[in-house]
Amino acid sequence: MSTPTLAPHQDTPTGHKAPEGRVGAGLFDPKQLLKSLPDAFRKLDPRVMVKSPVMFVVWIGSVLTTVFSFKDPGDWFGWTISAWLWLTVVFANLAEAVAEGRGKAQADTLRKAKTDTVARRLLKDGSEEQVPGTGLKIGDRVVCEAGDIIPGDGDVVEGVASVDESAITGESAPVIRESGGDRSAVTGGTKVLSDRIVIKITTKPGETFIDRMINLVEGAARQKTPNEIALNILLASLTIVFLLAVATLPPFADYAGTHLTMVVLVALLVCLIPTTIGALLSAIGIAGMDRLVQRNVLAMSGRAVEAAGDVSTLLLDKTGTITLGNRQASEFVPVAGVTEAVVAEAAQLSSLADETPEGRSIVVLAKEKYGLRERVLTGAEWIEFTAQTRMSGVDVDGRRIRKGAAGSVIAWVEGRGGEVAADAREVTDRISAAGGTPLLVALEDAEGARVLGVIHLKDVVKEGMRERFDELRRMGIKTVMITGDNPLTAKAIAEEAGVDDFLAEATPEDKMALIKREQAGGKLVAMTGDGTNDAPALAQADVGVAMNTGTSAAKEAGNMVDLDSNPTKLIEIVEIGKQLLITRGALTTFSIANDVAKYFAIIPALFAAVYPGLDKLNIMGLSSPDSAILSAVIFNALIIIALVPLSLRGVQYRPVSADKMLRRNLTIYGIGGLIAPFIGIKLIDLLISLIPGIG
């Protein structure tokens, strides 16, 4: 096994870390173009070109025009057309090479930083032996201590340790990995910073997470997606139609007393077939996966990225995704005859030694709302929370203060002969019905034991979540919150967050059943998860995003892994998938609209001499048939290279409905695709006409 270390990182526009050399600013960097140029020429191999039917036809046309040019060396027109056809093929290959090159840059960085590791494998008798990391097998147990490099992917089966995962996530903050929970998975190549852990290896050498990451960013593991294959079939069909159409032109020309050379016919065919989208299609797909990698998401297949763009139902965990995950104190509610300040003081005193997020939030609320400062209590006896008592508190200055679950505190008060105010239960029930967690605060002093009031703990919804869900709703995506809370609590949080539906008291079987119901209705479903119990649902979902901090079972079941373990990133993944589909659709529209304009440029110029009526269609007023054909071929090549940055960056995504998106694309890329060739071809024609002997 090897240890990779990424190059320095910088922030992307979304705030996530992206490896150096992979950010969008360098999409059209001349250095990147020059570096990718050799790859573009290597892709001229017919065995590579045949994978793209449209560009393979252009490649064949380039070969034919070159052969005919050799037969007539003095034909400048033939040589010029041949040169621009070859440039068209090279530019198409360059688009793909640039897209692949951005991934290879990171893969090279990973490989250069690799160093061999030695694993401490545990034997059955408890002794250790040192073996190369590459010699480990699935099921082997290895020991790692502070300073050791983890030799392979696996699960912690013994111990707890702090692990530096910056090699794969780019984040310098260490994470905790421990046995027996949902944070047991470790990745080969990361470094143990403290303590001792025993790891059970779960992958073979060469098939580790890092190896798959290298293959992905390098493009070695990329397969064409179903939609991409379907579009390729459509483009191939259009190419065949135009091939048949061009094949019928020579008889018409001969009948009219003119002659169309093979060079002219090939040029005409290349201009009419959808070469623009055919040239950029592969680059669009590669760039889509690359955008995910920039956001620290590893997609196991292009199909998953594409499916994310078609998702219609999102399943989101409540805790940590929709809410902050830690309940926060929001108010102190006194019972009759007690003031809020008294409840606040008692709640704060009982929480001074409580280091839980809930306990700290009680102290902060008392300080901010009532001006109560934290204090040092002398002679205090702290009562720690236990699962049996379900209370905590403090005994100080002859007073006993307790806070905790309603039933436990009531039992404590009544056990000391005290009375519980009637409205204490009413307040508790009201907070529970609103989705909060009530904690009773009680005091025992010389006057006896009694309940002072209730602390209202809320699971705080993350800022901006309602707006994000509104955006998803405008996109036609249904959001479902999944939680283990009771239905009352779940309903309250769902209404506050603005989700469309919720699943309360969810079990793994409930999640599976929900996904299958949605899929039975023809919907694509996406969800996040990190535990072993999430694995079945992640495998069933069309887009299953596993957290990197989760178990190996979850990561194997999902088709994406979020290296940052940020559950809200699922929303970004959907947006990236939609951007991929939008970009492909927009450039397909632009390409086909281009063909219509090129038709009006070439056909009238070819036959205007023998069919004078066609001269009315020569609306661009091109100077000559040769100039018209050459201008169209040059424009056809240049538009490919001009659209490379857009294909890599992607069309700007906006959260609008499908019909609005279609109208927008038709307006911008449809009408734009019609107008651009008229302007471009005319300008090129004007330049060509200035060359002596051509115009």
Q: Where are the beta strands (DSSP E) in 35-107?
A: none
Distance separating alpha carbons of residues 514 and 498, to the nearest angstrom = 19
Residue 68 assigned to a binding site: no
DSSP assignment of 19-49, as one string?
A: ETT-SGGGTT-HHHHHHHHHHHHHTTSHHHH
3-state helix, strand and coil shares in percent for the chain, rounded to the nearest 5:
50, 20, 30
Residue 100 assigned to a binding site: no
619 CB neighbour count, 10 Å cutoff: 11
Residues 6+ apart with CB under 8 A from 520: none
59 CB neighbour count, 10 Å cutoff: 24
Residues 6+ apart with CB under 8 A from 267: 61, 65, 81, 85, 602, 629, 630, 632, 633
- Judge whether 155 counts as a catalytic residue: no
User: Locate tokens 């139609």: which residue?
Assistant: 241
**What crossing angle do the helices spanning 262-272 and 569-607 adopt, rounded to 10°?**
150
Residue 128 assigned to a binding site: no
Task: Give the torsion sign (CA, 78, 83, 89, 95).
Answer: negative
Amino acid present at 263: V
Residue 470 assigned to a binding site: no
Residue 403 assigned to a binding site: yes
Chain centroid to Cα 123, Å, comes to 41
The answer to whether 629 and 267 are in contact (CB under 8 A) is: yes
> In 3D, which of 511, 609, 614 has the Cα closest to residue 557?
511
User: What are φ and ψ of residue 76, in 5° steps?
Assistant: -60, -35
State the burial class of residue 206 (Cβ atoms within 10 Å of its Cβ: 0-12, 13-18, 19+). Answer: exposed
Residue 358 assigned to a binding site: yes
Residue 385 assigned to a binding site: yes
Residue 182 assigned to a binding site: no
Q: What six digits make up the tokens of 162?
A: 């702090």
Coil, helix or strand for 398?
coil
Residue 102 assigned to a binding site: no
The answer to whether 139 and 122 are in contact (CB under 8 A) is: no
Amino acid present at 503: L
Distance separating alpha carbons of residues 96 and 280, to the nearest angstrom = 7
Residue 41 assigned to a binding site: no
State the burial class of residue 425 (Cβ atoms within 10 Å of its Cβ: 0-12, 13-18, 19+). Answer: middle
Helices (H), 248-384: 249-255, 262-272, 275-294, 302-309, 340-351, 357-370
Q: Of these residues, 211, 317, 485, 562, which one is catalytic?
A: 317
**What crossing angle do the helices spanning 357-370 and 340-351 adopt, rounded to 10°?**
140
Residues 6+ apart with CB under 8 A from 497: 322, 323, 461, 465, 466, 469, 481
Residue 354 assigned to a binding site: yes
Distance separating alpha carbons of residues 259 and 256, to the nearest angstrom = 9
13 CB neighbour count, 10 Å cutoff: 10
Q: Where are the beta strands (DSSP E) in 294-431?
A: 297-299, 313-317, 323-334, 381-383, 391-396, 399-404
Distance separating alpha carbons of residues 93 and 171, to the nearest angstrom = 35
688 CB neighbour count, 10 Å cutoff: 20
Residue 534 assigned to a binding site: yes
Residues 6+ apart with CB under 8 A from 191: 3, 147, 148, 149, 150, 163, 164, 167
Residue 530 assigned to a binding site: yes
> In 3D, which of 579, 7, 18 has the Cα closest to residue 295?
18
Residues that constitute the known binding site = 354, 358, 385-392, 403, 530, 534
Active site residues: 317
Residues that constitute the known binding site for ATP = 354, 358, 385-392, 403
Residues that constitute the known binding site for Mg(2+) = 530, 534
